[in-house]
Amino acid sequence: MSSENPVSDDVLREEVRGWLADNWIPEQAAAVGGTERIWGASDELKAWLGKVVEARWAVPSWPVEWFGRGLSASQAKIIIREFASVRAPGAGQDRSSMWANTLLARGTEPLKAKLLGPILKSEVDMCLLYSEPGAGSDLAGIRTRADLQGDHFVVNGQKVWTSGAAIADYGMLIARTDWDVPKHAGISFFFCPMKQPGIEVRPLRQITDESHFNEVFITDAIVPADNLLGGVNTGWKVLQTALAYERSILGDFARGARSGAKESRKEEVLIALAREAGVLEDPALRQEIAQAIAYKKLNSLNNARVKADLEQGTTSPAMSLGKLAMSRILHEEARVRTAILGAQSLFEGSDYPRAEDANFLTLNAYFTSIGGGTDQIQRNIIGERVLGLPKEPEVDTSIPFRDVRTS
């Protein structure tokens, strides 16, 4: 089971297939749903994930003492493929769970013992307490403070755009612990318990008429010292680990249409929609559809290249492109859907599911181009870290945060 006891690919494949045959009932797929649901797992999903975690299929590349098998990335992929082939959720969390991976990499032993299992089994819900009214793209400008008092920190401040805060049990929180050092050097990273009197959550209404994100007001909230990740004032480094996971997930992940109207699985959705609308022969639309599909294919080829590089132990500059590319693809697809529907896209409501979907996807495309770092910030990262362009001028990175001027 451990890397000291290597197992061949064939033996591993047989083992996972056998386990799935004994435990997974394909008919339960609808009830269980997928782990792409980030919050509020059903009881059926929790029960299934419990089995997957206990059998060590959830995070096989992790160490044996933490629910893993110490397998290589390529062997872990065998497990992901076998689960996917029967549509069983729960495998591959060593790639997809930003909460669990951040905790494993930087958490204290007591916190890992307390929360790694429940996170992998979706028994606890999580949220990200990063953005503030005055700090979004420039997260190092946060003003929420955490002060050590005995065996715990006392936290005061305000967060905003916090997805899932209303049901979360813990939030990954960044807060300022030293005001007399430059802004990146005085930040700490915590797992903050959300269900306590010092945390008040107020939902915000989104342009899609949903309310997934919230304002969070924090007044004398208590965070045990064990819930500090990576040590006092080293939170910026921990944040980089967590953001890298978040961006790679957002690069892979996109919400589909909302209406529930049936969409073709046999051919590209845009082609099927154009066929249904009787406009597939329109030469201008064909160009647009072809271009949107080409972007998607190119992105998946790039992703495959990145993954192949990662498996060989090197990183690829193309890795930084994933999230930005996905955001462009979502905007393009939504625009072409609207063009295919023409005037029909002006309708709304359940009587017009195709129009409802096109409008929802148009508005929701901003999720990916703002959340987890805006498109402009992704371009800055690519310019500076991949293309080697000069850094943006910054006037406040070497003075104590206390002296940074604000408007």
Ligand X SMILES: Cc1cc2nc3c(=O)[nH]c(=O)nc-3n(C[C@H](O)[C@H](O)[C@H](O)COP(=O)(O)OP(=O)(O)OC[C@H]3O[C@@H](n4cnc5c(N)ncnc54)[C@H](O)[C@@H]3O)c2cc1C
Active-site amino acid positions: 246
Q: CA–CA separation, 99 vs 97, rounded Å?
A: 5
Taking CB under 6 A as the criterion, the residue among 154, 222, 243, 370 binding ligand X is 370
Structure token pair of residue 285:
């639309």
Q: CA–CA separation, 348 vs 345, rounded Å?
A: 8
Nearest residue (CB) to ligand X, 67 versus 213: 213
377 near ligand X, judged by CB under 6 A: yes
Give the contacts of 395 (CB within 8 A, at least 6 positions apart): none
Nearest residue (CB) to ligand X, 12 versus 135: 135
Taking CB under 6 A as the criterion, the residue among 67, 190, 367, 401 binding ligand X is 367
Q: What is the largest CA-CA distance in the chain?
A: 72
161 near ligand X, judged by CB under 6 A: yes
Taking CB under 6 A as the criterion, the residue among 24, 170, 213, 360 binding ligand X is 213
Of the candidates 240, 199, 192, 235, the one whose C-alpha atom is nearest the C-alpha of residue 219 is 199
Q: Is the distance from CB of 269 to CB of 367 less than 8 angstroms?
A: no
> Measured on CA atoms in the order 127, 129, 133, 134, is the torsion positive or negative?
negative
Of the candidates 174, 184, 281, the one whose C-alpha atom is nearest the C-alpha of residue 227 is 174
Nearest residue (CB) to ligand X, 196 versus 376: 376
Taking CB under 6 A as the criterion, the residue among 376, 394, 399, 403 binding ligand X is 376
Q: CA–CA separation, 122 vs 371, rounded Å?
A: 22
The piece of 92-100, 108-116, 117-125, 160-168 that touches ligand X (CB under 6 A) is: 160-168
Q: Is the distance from CB of 358 to CB of 332 less than 8 angstroms?
A: no
Q: CA–CA separation, 338 vs 277, rounded Å?
A: 11
Give the contacts of 111 (CB within 8 A, at least 6 positions apart): 103, 191, 226, 227, 229
| Least distance to ligand X, CB of residue 375, Å | 7
163 near ligand X, judged by CB under 6 A: yes
Q: Is the distance from CB of 365 to CB of 407 less than 8 angstroms?
A: no
The piece of 89-97, 102-110, 247-255, 363-371 that touches ligand X (CB under 6 A) is: 363-371
Of the candidates 203, 205, 188, 118, the one whose C-alpha atom is nearest the C-alpha of residue 154 is 188
| Least distance to ligand X, CB of residue 212, Å | 7
Taking CB under 6 A as the criterion, the residue among 66, 380, 400, 404 binding ligand X is 380
373 near ligand X, judged by CB under 6 A: yes
Interface size with ligand X, residues (CB under 6 A): 20
Nearest residue (CB) to ligand X, 58 versus 242: 242
Taking CB under 6 A as the criterion, the residue among 35, 61, 75, 162 binding ligand X is 162
Nearest residue (CB) to ligand X, 250 versus 292: 250
Report how far Cα 366 is from the mean position of its chain's Cα atoms: 15
Of the candidates 200, 218, 174, 193, the one whose C-alpha atom is nearest the C-alpha of residue 111 is 193
Local structure of residue 258 (DSSP, 8 states): S
Q: Is the distance from CB of 108 to CB of 39 less than 8 angstroms?
A: no
| Least distance to ligand X, CB of residue 94, Å | 22
| Least distance to ligand X, CB of residue 127, Å | 6
Nearest residue (CB) to ligand X, 127 versus 340: 127
| Least distance to ligand X, CB of residue 380, Å | 5
Tell me whether strands 126-129 and 170-176 are parallel, antiparallel or unpaired: parallel
Residues 122-141 that bind ligand X (CB under 6 A): 127-128, 130-131, 136-137
| Least distance to ligand X, CB of residue 260, Å | 21
x-marked contacts with ligand X along 386-405 as a string, rule CB under 6 A? ------x-------------
Residue with tokens 């342009």: 207
| Least distance to ligand X, CB of residue 390, Å | 14
Q: Is the distance from CB of 219 to CB of 198 less than 8 angstroms?
A: yes
Nearest residue (CB) to ligand X, 58 versus 199: 199
Nearest residue (CB) to ligand X, 108 versus 131: 131
Q: Nearest residue by C-beta to ligand X?
A: 136
Binding site for ligand X (CB under 6 A): 127-128, 130-131, 136-137, 161-163, 213, 367, 370-374, 376-377, 380, 392
